[in-house]
Amino acid sequence: MVPYDGGMPIRPAVPADLDTIIELIHGLAEYEREPDAVRLDRDSMREHLFGPRPYAEVLMAETVGGESAGFALFFHNYSTWEGKPGIYLEDLFVRPEFRGQGLGKALLAGIAALAVERKCGRFEWAVLDWNQPSIDFYVALGAVPMDEWTTYRVAGEALTALAAMRAG
């Protein structure tokens, strides 16, 4: 565990944290105004985070008393131009009652430390355009918006149709 100035520890998640992670994901969905968008399967999530080939990692933040305060879920990507791995932050969420205490910064600093330790070339994430408090927070930490890039996504039926083109 790594304590930060507020006294709350930041630590890697363990399988016993699964239900808390899922609860925090639902909290994030509420915050992002998408409460009905979470469709995850608990068993798949367990396999993806803690199985033999984890697809993502999670850092947990807790109070000194052990109460869950927030989480950050991230995974590795790769930059061909840098010739190095990177880390992509998928989710960062701090429960409302713990905001403003440096916890988000501690979670980001924890991932940044892993990125440096793992010799990553960069640490990236996306933020919703309307989320000005988070944007201001990230810019204050030295993050730079990648405004010239547009994210594209293929999901659901479009993903299935694209995959079917391989056979045809």
Report pLDDT digits (tens) over 142-164. Answer: 999 999 998 899 999 999 999 99
Displacement of CA 141 from its chain's centroid (Å): 17
86, 115 in Cβ contact below 8 A?
yes
60, 15 in Cβ contact below 8 A?
no
125, 89 in Cβ contact below 8 A?
yes
Report pLDDT digits (tens) over 18-63. Answer: 999 999 999 999 999 999 999 999 999 999 999 999 999 999 999 8
123, 103 in Cβ contact below 8 A?
no
**Catalytic annotation, pick one of 4, 31, 55, 138:** 138
- Mention the CATH class of domain 2-164: alpha beta
Q: Which residue intervals of the chain are DSSP H helices?
A: 18-31, 42-50, 103-117, 132-140, 156-164
CA distance 2 to 136: 25
4 compared with 124, residue with greater pLDDT: 124
4 is an active site residue: no
